[in-house]
């Protein structure tokens, strides 16, 4: 079974649209796709790929089952996503397309 790790990146500017930095926009993206039997084993597999990844607390990635609905929901990503987050999301989508 495939599992998606969904992480969140915040984006803000010092403009009135974002409340001068007080109200950022949160962009969800697919951090990683792993194969495991359970969600807990998926967390362990993710830590093998990204060793400094932490689970627990408010800011940890969510682990959800990779269904067609969940993949379609997280396929689109904000153009304001940047850096490693954009690259990881693109690689995860490429992996999912090859697996289907």
What the block records as the tokens of 95 is 């992996």
For residue 54, the model assigns a pLDDT of: 93
> What are the phi and psi torsion angles at 64 (to 5°)?
-130, 155
Query: How far is 2 from 69, CA to CA, in rounded Å?
Result: 13
Instruction: Please write the tens of the pLDDT for every residue from 15-43.
Output: 998 899 899 999 999 999 999 999 999 99
CA-angle at 30, arms to 4 and 5, nearest 5°: 35
* pLDDT at position 100: 66
What's the CA gap between 94 and 85, in Å, rounded?
Answer: 14
- Taking the complete model, does pTM exceed 0.85, yes or no? yes
Render pLDDT for 40-86 as a digit per residue (tens, 0 to 9).
Answer: 999 999 999 999 999 998 889 999 999 999 999 999 888 889 889 99
């Amino acid at each position: 079974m495939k599992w998606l790790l969904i992480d969140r990146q915040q984006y803000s500017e010092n403009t009135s649209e974002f409340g001068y930095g007080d109200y950022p926009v949160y962009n969800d993206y697919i951090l990683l796709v792993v194969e495991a039997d359970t969600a807990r084993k998926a967390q362990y597999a993710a830590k093998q790929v990204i060793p400094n990844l932490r689970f627990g607390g408010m800011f940890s990635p969510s682990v959800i089952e990779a269904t067609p609905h969940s993949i379609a929901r997280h396929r689109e990503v904000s153009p304001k996503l940047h850096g490693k987050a954009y690259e990881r999301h693109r690689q995860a989508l490429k992996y999912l397309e090859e697996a289907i």
